[in-house]
Structure 1
């Protein structure tokens, strides 16, 4: 691109050196002028590389709804987009994805691809028809290497290497694993396209992420993405029969939302996509729901205003990274319902006691982030001090009764106020 190899403004070496004080101190101690000049040249070259990357990123024509040009993008593609129930893998879709992602890559926009399709592909190739968990896990084991091999071939013409990351909810929940994963992403994003999927071959209900829509939002928070694109079987969101191009919120009620069919072997659908989008918006990440069909599905969504753009609406009470992670790690489809007394107490900055819980939906383990519901609406999220099995034993009970009901009582509350996020209307 013209102009990127020329810096019209003079470089102030003093400013460059001050930007790297440790190196500047080292170089000023040297009497050898050539050594000093070498270090200044090295610093200058790195500065020019950063400027070039910044200019390349700015040159990608993102759609005007983005308040800031994204430097990192997460793209989620579902089974329905990639695998035909009879014909198998749709290689033309992979080629289109690789082409769009390579364009972003050439503009120094970093991309993580969250890809379903392993179970669906394995079911076709391995002729797996059973819906039992062991059969689905076997299908995943067959399909995952085939899927990655196909991605590798799709990106090969663009000179881009892909990398595989398989996750369970335990990897996101565990503090040490979380930061190890974060560091792995940081390293891979320098030269590779990470392709992420749930580790279906070992997942079971208690450690399952639920669906890759939720996983995409978790990954977006982890890597600090500024855009999240959901590729699906619809051009966007339809409400009351009308296609919606831009929303400043994510619908809580699905009564007026048009539902499109999900893949027979997929876990998602519009309901779960909207849940994931709602979470992303609360984290301050804009999201786009768009069609996977067409020769440039990702580029059309990011540049040409295709699909529905969801404007981010970050929660005002997400103070500190701890509460951000609570929201990002919420276990899908796991929640507890509370009564009016508990609802009022929570809004007065109290912890959630067993006596105020009326119903539990799981499964979830102690330490999982779960939703709190009141009158059919999610009012908050928090880390549970008990598993779903134990909550079912103590719901509606007084704190003094807990030792009689459980062998182990780790806490007098179900969710402590320090591990709680309340959603404000």
Structure 2
């Protein structure tokens, strides 16, 4: 490999923790970090997005993956994180490199300033020749604020750092057109569009929170940012370099030939829905035809409690998601504006404003290459 690569690797819990004993799998870590050391020696940057802290901590608090609730998992994460980092540190020192822990929550990705601050931290660690090990901060997160799976967290990291390659190490050798347990299942070596394969991706592992469905969602987010995604079996020698040099089987998800800009990619690739708007179909068509803002007169209904700067999902009257954009108002302010359409915005809100709900330069139209989100079940009519 002559061209320098910026590689983000996602490692699932089942690879890192023994399923019966819930202890670190040092043999796997040895193979993984030896390969990381070789890639780094060739001049490549490597960032690890690691699951495993919850799985490793369950035994300490006397729980199992099946019995643990959210508070149990938070406590298990607190117990398991030192074990996970110690395992990485012990093995990493064998190959002469240092590691650093980067714990993130949903807000670190959804708030743009925190997103940039996190990116700066990761880049500084790479400059210092330190390997960042990124994980969701499971100790403090709840169902309402958590990312939800480390596949999409890792995809956001890949987007954040401008990765060239995003490798998802898992328990199977890639994507199949149906459940791989089916004897007639066919392996998919290369994917341009992930949407046709979503129906075949249900199910998850015992220790993990995401199955192949979240991996394809993550791959879609990465390809929008121009990143090549690889889905591969992790239980092999040289688990990373054998994927990158093509010497073993893996599913390759191709990057889009015209990736979004960093700003548009941040707007379009969400982890949770802060809120949504419904506009008339004619308005949605007009948005697609040219740059124009969304105004209060355009809005049929809205959903969610959001703040200024949150990204809203924009649906047409048929319930089809058409765009995502940055809100200039809180949900409370927007309700005031839409319920008083004949009163000047400045008079209603007490400050000077153009009254545009989503400005044109903060609006990203969704194309067929995006995975669309279903509209909320209950819409608050205005």
Shorter-chain TM-score category? Answer: 0.7 to 0.9
Aligned residue for 2:195, secondary structure, equals coil
Aligned residue for 1:322, secondary structure, equals helix
- TM-score, scaled relative to structure 1: 0.71
For 1:214-253, what aligned pairs fall within 5 Å after superposition? 214-240=152-178, 241-251=185-195
Distance 1:397 1:262 in 2: 48
Look up the match of 1:421: 364
After superposition, what is the alpha-carbon deviation per residue over 1:290-333, rounded to whole angstroms, capped at 9, x for unaligned? Answer: 112222322222122521001110546x45x43233235x2335
Gapped runs of 5+ residues in structure 1?
1-56, 59-68
Distance 2:267 2:57 in 1: 34
> Cα gap change, 1:123/1:396 in structure 2, threshold over 3 Å: closer, same or farther?
farther
Among 128, 150, 167, the residue aligned to 2:87: 150
Look up the match of 1:200: 138
Look up the match of 1:50: none
Cα pair 2:11 2:168 within 8 Å, conserved:
yes
Cα pair 2:277 2:312 within 8 Å, conserved:
no
Among 231, 234, 248, the residue aligned to 1:289: 231
For 1:6-85, what aligned pairs fall within 5 Å after superposition? 58=2, 69-85=3-19
Equivalenced residue count is 350
Distance 1:408 1:149 in 2: 55
Structure exhibiting the larger radius of gyration computed from Cα positions: 1
Among 52, 56, 68, the residue aligned to 1:121: 56
Q: CA deviation at 1:174?
A: 3.9
Cα pair 2:327 2:357 within 8 Å, conserved:
yes
Cα pair 2:156 2:221 within 8 Å, conserved:
no
Look up the match of 2:240: 298
1:351 aligns with 2:293: yes
Q: CA deviation at 1:90?
A: 2.3
Distance 1:423 1:109 in 2: 33
Distance 1:211 1:365 in 2: 24
Instruction: Name the structure where helix makes up a greater proportion of residues.
Output: 1
> Cα gap change, 1:77/1:396 in structure 2, threshold over 3 Å: closer, same or farther?
farther
Question: Is the deviation greater in 226-235 or in 366-375?
Answer: 366-375
RMSD: 3.3
Cα pair 1:385 1:415 within 8 Å, conserved:
yes
Cα pair 1:213 1:276 within 8 Å, conserved:
yes
Cα pair 2:275 2:305 within 8 Å, conserved:
no
Look up the match of 2:281: 340
Look up the match of 1:103: 38
Cα pair 1:205 1:363 within 8 Å, conserved:
no
Q: CA deviation at 1:393?
A: 6.5
Q: CA deviation at 1:187?
A: 2.3
Q: CA deviation at 1:367?
A: 2.4
> Cα gap change, 1:261/1:132 in structure 2, threshold over 3 Å: closer, same or farther?
closer
Distance 1:273 1:400 in 2: 48
Aligned residue for 1:189, secondary structure, equals helix
Aligned residue for 1:208, secondary structure, equals coil
Gapped runs of 5+ residues in structure 2?
179-184, 369-382
Distance 1:370 1:263 in 2: 34
Question: Is the deviation greater in 165-174 or in 338-347?
Answer: 338-347
Distance 2:194 2:105 in 1: 26
> Cα gap change, 1:369/1:232 in structure 2, threshold over 3 Å: closer, same or farther?
farther
Distance 1:273 1:142 in 2: 27
1:93 aligns with 2:35: no
